[in-house]
């Protein structure tokens, strides 16, 4: 389809509402994206027409629901270019996927082994690995960052050794927008025999990961940041790795046979999908993938590139404003502060003017500690945002600065 911003904005009903009497300017897409009408309608359609449990019923509705759920799995498999559909595991989100892998590695690590995380990580890609190291006696090592918000690859190279068992890094930093050189990191990790997990939570709305081309061992992401419902997500894992890891949860669906003496586990993907899943939203995650592809990832990237460049230029017109995260490779996120003013105060005032941004540490406290700041104001753009909205935000920030100075 051709990229018509007016038509695209009409797809998102929430964008037409007013907040505090002002037109909504939604710049908190890094936290969650808005949902197009086609996604909203698909949720309703499921409950109106085929609501039933899946994989276990012979009746028509159960078969229809199962078919729709597995069709969604196949859409996601094709979208990320996984080799097999059974390498696509439905989860509740990125956090769930990361914890699944970390829990599985508890049976593979021993004291003296090393886990590498980066200084740019969300807490969800730090805490599970800390917990894993505490359980196993393994050591957590941190890949450092520089003032631009980029990982120092020479230091990464030095940290890698035969002791490294898994590397875990985000594709895109939620706090700064940095796009990490994950292909380089994947190849380097594999050279020392380490597995690598990519946290793609912030990436999947901006680009289309090709997991076979990347050659990553695991790739985790959430649906709610790619225009799908909350409580949905995907863990991609190479077949060999998923077969090697033990189940994360026990219960129905993930079993082949149960006796009181012994349980044998189901084959992939069901081995990691215990219990009744979030069926409706899992199906609708496939609808969101269809919507993204109907817009075209190239169109999305072009629009967001223009917004990033324009927003950066306009915000830097404000005296005393500093942008954190100036990496050469960056997506449509601008984290900034104004000298002498707490980010929370700016965020509160511009909310009164209808502008939604995120303030705080963005679940990335180590990044804030690196810059020695309490947090930032984060404006994160989606393809349905406009330059006119950026102008509104800039004027609101100027007004807030005047009030607080």
Q: Name the residues annotated as catalytic.
A: 363
- Residue 241, SS3 per DSSP: helix
Axis-axis angle for helices 94-105, 127-136 (nearest 10): 10
Two structure tokens written together for 5: 């911003």
Give the C-alpha distances (Å, rounded to integers) separating 397 from 56, 207, 312, 370.
55, 29, 13, 25
Give every CB contact of residue 74 below 8 A, 6+ residues apart in sequence. 85
Give, in degrees to the nearest 5, the angle at Cα 353 between 348 and 354. Answer: 95
β-strand partners of 341 = 338
Rounded to whole angstroms, the Cα distance separating 196 from 214 reads 11
Give the C-alpha distances (Å, rounded to integers) separating 284 from 36, 41, 199, 228, 280.
11, 9, 22, 7, 6
Name the nearest CA neighbour of 220 among 90, 103, 128, 74: 90
- Residue 165, SS3 per DSSP: strand
């Amino acid at each position: 389809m051709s990229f018509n911003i007016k038509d695209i904005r009409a797809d998102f009903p929430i964008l037409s509402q007013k907040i505090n009497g002002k037109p909504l300017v939604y710049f908190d897409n890094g936290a969650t994206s808005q949902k197009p009408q086609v996604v909203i309608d698909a949720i309703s359609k499921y409950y109106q027409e085929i609501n039933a449990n899946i994989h276990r019923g012979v009746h028509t509705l159960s078969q229809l629901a199962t078919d729709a759920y597995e069709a969604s799995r196949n859409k996601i498999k094709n979208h990320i270019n996984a080799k097999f559909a059974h390498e696509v595991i439905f989860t509740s989100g990125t956090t769930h996927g990361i914890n699944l892998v970390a829990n599985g590695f508890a049976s593979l690590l021993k004291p003296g082994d090393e886990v590498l995380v980066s200084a740019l990580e969300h807490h969800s890609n730090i805490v599970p690995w800390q917990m894993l190291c505490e359980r196993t006696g393994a050591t957590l090592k941190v890949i450092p960052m520089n003032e631009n918000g980029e990982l120092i690859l020479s230091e990464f190279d030095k940290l890698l050794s035969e002791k490294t068992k898994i590397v875990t890094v985000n594709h895109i930093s939620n706090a700064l927008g940095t796009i990490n050189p994950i292909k380089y990191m994947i190849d380097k990790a594999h050279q020392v025999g380490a597995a690598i997990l990519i946290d793609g939570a912030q990436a999947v709305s901006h680009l289309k990961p090709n997991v076979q081309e990347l050659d990553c061992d695991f790739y985790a992401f959430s649906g709610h940041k790619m225009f799908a419902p909350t409580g949905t997500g995907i863990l991609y894992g190479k077949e060999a790795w998923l077969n090697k890891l033990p189940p994360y949860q026990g219960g129905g669906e993930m079993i082949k046979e149960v006796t009181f003496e012994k349980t044998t586990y189901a084959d992939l993907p069901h081995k990691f999908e215990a219990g009744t899943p979030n069926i409706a939203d899992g199906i609708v995650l496939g609808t969101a993938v269809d919507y993204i592809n109907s817009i075209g990832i190239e169109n999305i990237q072009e629009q967001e590139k223009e917004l990033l460049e324009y927003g950066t230029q306009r915000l830097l017109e404000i005296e005393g404003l500093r942008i954190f995260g100036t990496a050469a490779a960056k997506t449509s996120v601008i984290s900034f502060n104004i000298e002498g003013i707490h980010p929370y105060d700016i965020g509160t005032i511009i909310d009164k003017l209808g502008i939604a941004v995120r303030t705080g540490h963005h679940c990335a406290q180590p990044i804030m500690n690196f810059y020695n700041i309490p947090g930032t104001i984060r404006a994160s753009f989606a393809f349905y945002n406009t330059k006119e909205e950026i102008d509104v935000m800039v004027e609101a920030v100027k007004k807030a600065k005047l009030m607080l100075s």
